[in-house]
Chains A and B, each alone.
Chain A
Amino acid sequence: MTLVFGVFLLTLLVIVAVAIVRSTNLFAAVMLSGIFSLLMAVNFFLLDAADVALTEAAVGAGVATVLFLSALALTAEHEQVRPGGAALQWLPLVVAFATGGLLIYATFQNPVIGDPNAPVHQHVAPWYLENTPELIDIPNVVTAVLGSFRGFDTLGEVFVVFTAGIGVLSILGLRHTLVEMTSAEIDARQRSLRHHLIPRVVGRGMVPFILLFALYVQFHGEYSPGGGFQAGAIAAAAIILYSLLEGDDRGRALVPEWLLQIMVASGALLFGGVGVVCMLLGGSFLDYSVLAEVPSEGQHLGLLLIELGVGITVSGVLLTVFHAFARRASR
């Protein structure tokens, strides 16, 4: 039955994707990509990948739409359709169809979903499942694989996020441009939702609950779906909600930019630092077993610290990008 739901939702996904490509109004495309993200989350969920689905939920619902809209505020709303370029547009279409056809042809050789004899289920996956209770001793195998067995990959991902944040800053500019204070203040008040009483009261009431949920996802990630990436995105969503309601100036007063820059750097540093400490204590890089007397407790401590590092960097980067866009829009 899950298969029927999956096929139905994937069909909807294709329809939405075609609609995104075909719409020339960029606002409509942003809204449709919101639906696309929700559909992806449900699909991940049906495939039993709750950790991935939670990431999609945290980024797609909280942050992506806001960032798309603040980018849209800097540009025109309608996509320009180049006249007379029809001949050139055939080439990409042919390339896309050829590549897609090859990929579909390749899937014919793939094992059926859930086939126990498939190579994925024969290679390292059984080893992870068998050894996680003994070596790491936490219920969520995904967190064990992500943080400990494949900790190197996750470190790489954190640095990708870190680099992406720096990249956005180098394009959009790091420092405040000097605007006259009065006009900037008026501007901020007009751009905020301060005079909308209902969203303000409800939204400000929601912020602590969202932050509490982010903490739950952060520190409960070893037992249930979640971890640093998801928690970082959810916490960033809470601060973004506050900034939308109260104005960007008050959002920046709540979490100042120097703090954000420290967060972006220190999270990645914490992750790498844990690895170096492991080496100093006589283990190999990111081998947390040496952090405590009992190896599994060392693993717990290491996972807690690196997940914290991931969460700090992710929320720092997302908030930095949000503020960079908002500052550009108010110029």
Chain B
Amino acid sequence: MGVVELISFVLMTAGGFCVFVGGVGVLRMPDLYTRMHAASVTDTAGLFLVATGLMLHAGWSLPLFKLVAILVFLLVTSPTAAYALANAAMLSGHPPAGVRDETVPSAGRDGETP
């Protein structure tokens, strides 16, 4: 096993660990927003480590550019998806746990259009 392979192995295993931690967090956190927070660990750190490990393994080739594209697109789209999800939840009146209803900064469920 060469040095590059070893680094690649370490990076991917660390990425696998991040992914697993995120999975446990999504299962065990108390409410939606904290769960989203846990999921973001896998979406950023896990993704970045696994993709970098694969890139080292790939070397200079066409798959390298595909991996870069996958990394860039996921890094851009997954926070956007998280925004859309949190917005949908707040819009339909799904407050974070521990926040009382009157302090929810939504525009009032029966109020005007925002």
A–B contact via C-beta, under 8 angstroms? yes
Q: Please, how many residues of chain A have a CB less than 8 angstroms from a CB on the other chain?
A: 11
Interface flag for B84 (CB, 8 Å): yes
In the bound complex, do residue A203 and residue B80 qualify as a contact, i.e. CB atoms below 8 Å apart? yes
A209 close to B (CB within 8 Å): yes
Q: What class of interface size applies to chain B in its complex with A? A: 10 to 19
In Å, the complex CA distance between A199 and B78 comes to: 11
Known A190-B113, A195-B114; judge A206-B83 contact (CB<8 A).
no
Contact residues of B: prevailing secondary structure: helix
Contact B73–A209 (Cβ < 8 Å): yes
CB B47 to nearest CB in A, in angstroms, measures 16
Mark out the residues of chain B between 28 and 85 whose CB falls within 8 Å of any chain A CB in the assembled complex: 73, 76-77, 79-80, 83-84
With A199-B80, A199-B84 given, is the CB distance from A206 to B73 under 8 Å? yes
Judging by beta carbons under 8 Å apart, are B73 and A202 in contact? no
In the bound complex, how far is the Cα of B79 from the Cα of A206, in angstroms?
14
Asked if residues B84 and A196 are in contact (CB atoms below 8 Å), the reply is yes
For residue A3, CB closer than 8 A to chain B, the reply is: no
Chain A CB within 10 Å, residue with most, of B80, B83, B87? B80
Bound-state CA distance A190–B84 (Å) is 15
Q: Do A198 and B80 touch (CB < 8 A)?
A: yes
- Given A196-B84, A196-B87, residue A202 in contact with residue B76 (CB < 8 A): yes
State whether A198 touches B114 (Cβ < 8 A): no
B77 and A202 form a contact (CB under 8 A): yes
CA distance A196 to B77 in the complex (A): 14
Contact A199–B114 (Cβ < 8 Å): no
| 0/1 interface trace, chain A 190-210, chain B, CB 8 Å (1 if under) | 100101101100110110010
Q: Tell me the complex Cα distance, A196–B88, Å.
A: 11
Q: Is there an interface contact between B83 and A198, defined as CB atoms closer than 8 Å?
A: yes
Bound-complex Cα distance A199 to B83 (A):
8
Which A residues form the contact surface with B (CB < 8 A)?
190, 193, 195-196, 198-199, 202-203, 205-206, 209
- Beyond contacts A199-B83, A206-B76, A209-B73: 11 other A-B pairs, Cβ-Cβ < 8 A, are A193-B84, A195-B114, A196-B83, A198-B79, A198-B80, A198-B83, A199-B84, A202-B76, A202-B77, A203-B80, A205-B76
Listed from nearest, the 6 A-B pairs whose CB atoms lie closest are: A202-B80, A198-B83, A199-B80, A199-B84, A198-B80, A202-B76
